[in-house]
Amino acid sequence: MLRLARLRFLLYNLLPVGLAVAVSVHQGHPINLTWYAVAQLFAWTVHLMTHFCNEYFDLEADRANVFFTPWTGGSRALVDGMVAPVVSLGAGFVLFGLSTLMVAAMPSLPARLLAATAVVLAWFYTAPPGRLNYRGAGELTVAAILNGLWPAVAVVLQAGTVPWLLVAVLTPTAVLQVARMMVMNLGDRRSDATVGKRTLPVILGYRPAVRLIIAAQPLAYGMVTTFALLGWVPWLVWAAMAATAPLSVWLVIQLRRGAMRDLDPVRMTPVVFWASNHVSLIVAAAMLGVVLDAIRRSASTGALAVLGAVLAGYALLFAHRLWLARRASATV
């Protein structure tokens, strides 16, 4: 079950939720630790629900995939017969029920509407009749949830509204999230096509998909810079986010060299690893920038200490993930 759950992907959830709370503190709102915890648990519950749901409804595509990596092609737990498919579906339904109860417990109509939308989109990402990831909408759906709805729920629970600063910071990260999901789906494009799973790389084709991923990189950083020039994003936040640009450069170089072209798992693994973590790191950088700017504004010391601890915890867990990835590559 642990393999099926793919818990390593849940590390990311600390960041959009933490960023939302950091923006709330930055805007002068006191931190509410209870609702912070609820928002974090909600994000984890929905994310786990999506994993179990995906494993069941993506089983045909995963069975067809012989070019999988540790980051693409599913957990392989159902493919390898380690867990019965019905167990995965049952766990998904249980988590759907828990998510729904959490939505009902939220204190305001805007929070409930945002949270309910996240649950519905997450479930129908692969489940019928929506099957969004089979109809060219999967990449946008992931960005809408991870870089939109989850932080929106968290900030509404704290501040009662969605500050413009959060929208301005999240928009470019959502662009990179779409590109990241396209990179992941590039690796699955052949098996996806055989089972009728029409992700954007399947619909567009390899070369147009690569060109779109490459174009997304300067677009995202150009957006951050424009928002900073307009005064919508503090320059400290801009500097922190801009510091992640070398990862975009590296990704572009790898894609231009054809790292994803031949579906070689050895060549694909570092690309999908860093494409995925690129989004994590720019959101972490945004959170760090917001916290630093909040310090400059003399925000609550206690709230900043909590947010700093979250960032430190993420940094330690990411360092451990990086060590595991390097150890795995050394044994290949």
- Residue 50 near residue 123 (C-beta atoms within 8 A): yes
Average pLDDT, the chain: 92
Q: Which residues contact 118 (CB under 8 A, 6 or more apart)?
A: 46, 145, 149, 150, 153
| pLDDT band of 29, cuts 50, 70, 90 | very high
- Residue 65 near residue 73 (C-beta atoms within 8 A): yes
Q: Is the pLDDT of residue 325 over 90?
A: no
The predicted structure's pLDDT at residue 94: 96
Among the residue ranges 147-151, 168-172, 289-293, 294-298, the one predicted with the least confidence is: 294-298
Q: Give the whole-number percent of the chain exceeding pLDDT 70.
A: 97
The predicted structure's pLDDT at residue 34: 96
| pLDDT band of 69, cuts 50, 70, 90 | confident
The predicted structure's pLDDT at residue 320: 80
The predicted structure's pLDDT at residue 24: 96
Among the residue ranges 15-29, 58-72, 171-185, 302-316, the one predicted with the least confidence is: 58-72
pTM above 0.75, yes or no: yes
| pLDDT band of 322, cuts 50, 70, 90 | confident
Higher pLDDT, 166 or 325: 166
Q: Is the pLDDT of residue 272 over 80?
A: yes
Higher pLDDT, 186 or 12: 186
Tell me the pLDDT tens digit for each residue of 215-260: 999 999 999 999 999 999 999 999 999 999 999 999 999 999 999 9
The predicted structure's pLDDT at residue 330: 55
Tell me the pLDDT tens digit for each residue of 91-115: 999 999 999 999 999 999 999 999 9
The predicted structure's pLDDT at residue 329: 62
